[in-house]
Amino acid sequence: MRGWSALAWSLPFLVASTLSAGTVDTEFLQKPWPKQIVRQLEVGRYEVRWRQRANRREGVYAGVRFTAPLDRASVWDKTSDFSDIGRMTPGVSAVRFLEETPTRQVIQLDVTVLWKTLQLTFEVEQDPGQAIRFRLVNKLLGEYWGVCWLEEASAGTIVELATWLKPSRPIPVGLLLFVERKTLLDGVRNFLEECERYPQQNQ
């Protein structure tokens, strides 16, 4: 999943996940969050809208919105390509597809964090050309949900990614928000840099 791989799999305390039954319903992430904070940021030469809502009871909501300099078909090809998970994500030593169809994947990763190897299992559902939804669920450690959706724009494609993180163990909300913000913005920077190289790669 070129560019986006670093966004979704960078929280090492969500490990050894057990799968939930049913559709990955992320409608709650796509709506404005009550009392959300919204800021406009510069990432490289691109404008990015950042939004957040965080508290100990509800967890951390975080999102980014920006315009990628490619048409929607090209952006979809990049966001829905999972072939580079192992290469693009630091610490990943093995990738297993437990289920794989055109609209749904269950992917298991072995990830080394410091001295320990952890196993992450996550579900991904796709509306081809429009949206990707994912979740990690663990009764002991918490939940991490996300959605990325695409909209056509006159000068490229609007990309919006929103996530929700709710750990089951006490972790300072400020720390979680800092990690999520750094992860998402670094992922946006990497993704946009790859978008700029994309035409040259395909000539």
The domain ranges of the chain are 5-201
* Per-residue model confidence as pLDDT tens digits over 77-89: 888 776 655 554 5
Confidence grade of residue 138 (pLDDT, cut at 50, 70, 90)? low
Cβ–Cβ under 8 Å, residues 14 and 142 = yes
Highest mean pLDDT among 59-73, 91-105, 120-134: 59-73
What pTM did the predictor assign? 0.78
Q: List the 156-167 sheet strands across, edge first.
A: 37-43, 46-55, 59-68, 156-167, 142-153, 131-138, 116-127, 104-113, 92-100
**How far is C-alpha 173 from the chain's CA centre?**
19
- What CATH homologous superfamily does 5-201 map to? START domain (3.30.530.20)
- Reported as a pLDDT band with limits 50, 70 and 90, residue 5 is very low
For residues 63 and 77, the answer to whether their CB atoms sit within 8 Å is: no
64 alpha carbon, distance to own chain's centre: 10
> What are φ and ψ of residue 132, in 5° steps?
-125, 130
Placement of tokens 């999520």 in the chain: 180
